[in-house]
Amino acid sequence: MIHTENETYSQSEINSQNEIDEINSQNEIDEINPDDNKSEKKGAVSGRDLVKRNYKLSYFDFNGRGELLRLIFAVSNTDYIDERIKFEDWKEKKINAPLKQVPILKVDDEPVLVQSMAIARYLATEMNLAGRDNYEKTKVDFVLDLCKEFMDHFAVYVAPEILFPSDEKEEIIEDFLNKIAKYFLQKIQILIQKFGTNGYAVGNEITVADLFIYDLVTNMIKLDPFILENYPNLKENRNQVEENQNLQSYFKEKRKSRNSN
Ligand SMILES: N[C@@H](CCC(=O)N[C@@H](CS)C(=O)NCC(=O)O)C(=O)O
């Protein structure tokens, strides 16, 4: 049985009944396609966790719901296989995807992990990015839950217009920025003011909360380059995240590979 968090989300993102039937009849959770390494790139050099694991992240070749996970690997300088699935290959790969969706994370020989937020929390715990104690972890969760809600709205209203623009693209984006983005950015800023110090979202060091905010704000800046003018705490948070050396290397590589395409 698949549970969704809200109606809108379930209508636009959950697969058709046929696919759900397929999921139910599929007994074995398997990785997407272990032999296909064509579009894979290697991540950073070494992991921060003591146990060296083999990670393979499968997602499309855009930020979407995969970028937060890539940022976690990047900031923790963890080696992983970054499989970028091409749209034309998705139909075939989808057959073996447990919920017929990505992102999917394969860790060693374990059954694959699905659902971007579950994967983010798993990785954040592994990489010590989830908050120092239970109280701090809960604060990180406040931020992640809020950001996830924001991301769901972005995925429903804006992402389809970016990938497959309609005639209403401009109005949809303007409406999104004026209403939904404003609503969430204000709330995220309040959480930063309450829980963080020195520009961090929670506590006094980088956590997965900072990374999710960074990812979402990046999406917003692409829609409106001046969007942070009204959010000084979000601006400070972004500057703090950009100070991170591992992330700087990641962004540099990302810019390079974008320019080489
Ligand atoms: N709740 C899921 C949503 C996953 C999802 O919507 N994935 C989309 C890409 S962002 C997907 O796989 N779309 C392809 C399809 O449904 O065929 C998560 O957070 O991982």
In this predicted model, what pLDDT tens digit does every residue of 170-194 receive, in sequence order? 999 999 999 999 999 999 999 999 9
Q: Which CATH architecture has domain 7-126?
A: 3-Layer(aba) Sandwich (3.40)
Determine if ligand 1 sits within 6 Å of the CB of residue 116: yes
Place of tokens 């959770």: 29
CA of 65 to the centre of ligand 1 (A): 8
d(CA 117, CA 28): 22
Q: How confident is the model at residue 51 (pLDDT cuts 50, 70, 90)?
A: confident
Instruction: Render pLDDT for 82-133 as a digit per residue (tens, 0 to 9).
Output: 999 999 999 999 999 999 999 999 999 999 999 999 999 999 999 999 999 9
d(CA 219, CA 125): 25
CA of 135 to the centre of ligand 1 (A): 30
Instruction: Render pLDDT for 130-145 as a digit per residue (tens, 0 to 9).
Output: 999 999 999 999 999 9
Atom of ligand 1 nearest to the CA of 66: 10
Closest residue (by CA) to atom 11 of ligand 1?
101
Please check whether the two domains, 7-126 and 134-260, share a CATH topology. Answer: no
Bridge-based pairing state of the strands 55-60 and 104-107? antiparallel
Determine if ligand 1 sits within 6 Å of the CB of residue 65: yes
Residues paired with 41 in a beta bridge: 82
* 92: amino acid identity, one letter: E
CA of 113 to the centre of ligand 1 (A): 13
Best residue for ligand 1 mutational test, from 9, 19, 65, 89 (most atoms within 8 Å of Cβ): 65
Report CA 162 to chain centroid distance, whole Å. Answer: 17
Sequence ranges of the domains in the chain:
7-126, 134-260
The answer to whether the CB of 45 falls within 8 A of the CB of 71 is: no
Q: Own/partner pairs for 164-168, CB < 8 Å, 24+ apart?
A: none
Closest residue (by CA) to atom 17 of ligand 1?
101
CATH class of 134-260: mainly alpha
The answer to whether the CB of 129 falls within 8 A of the CB of 208 is: yes
Beta carbons within 10 angstroms of residue 211's beta carbon: 27
